[in-house]
Amino acid sequence: MGSSVITSLSLSFKQVPPTAVPTFLDYVLSSTGVSPSTLFESLIKELSFRAELFVWRVFVPLMKMVRAYDLDMLNKVNLPPPAVY
């Protein structure tokens, strides 16, 4: 199944209410003649690609920010007490 068809199908899921997805998939399967296993495999590949993009574009930068924040907090906690004169 072509990647442009799968991308278009994936984007269409955003416009369909979750309760309508099974009916939507039935329509796609009956109108295209694609086997359910082929459609499922293609969607899994697309979803894993999107998950990978999410990890690299969102999750990893967030983890770097959290680590920097944790180090900053750790440094503040480990500061020696102020000298008393």
Write the pLDDT tens digit of every residue in 14-52. 898 888 888 888 888 888 888 888 888 888 888 888 888
- Does some domain include residue 28? yes
- Does some domain include residue 82? no
Query: What is the Cβ-side half-sphere exposure of residue 37, based on CA atoms within 13 angstroms?
Result: 0
Residue pair 1/29 in contact by the 8 Å Cβ criterion: no
In which band, very low, low, confident or very high, does the pLDDT at 81 lie, cut at 50, 70 and 90? low
Locate 69 and state its tokens.
């924040």
- Does some domain include residue 72? yes
What is the percent of the chain where pLDDT is above 70? 85
Across all residues in the chain, what is the average pLDDT? 81
Reply yes or no on whether the pLDDT at 82 is more than 80. no
Q: Which of 82, 31, 59, 84 is nearest to 39 (CA)?
A: 31
Q: Show the domain range for 19.
A: 3-77
What predicted TM-score, i.e. pTM, was given to this entire model?
0.55
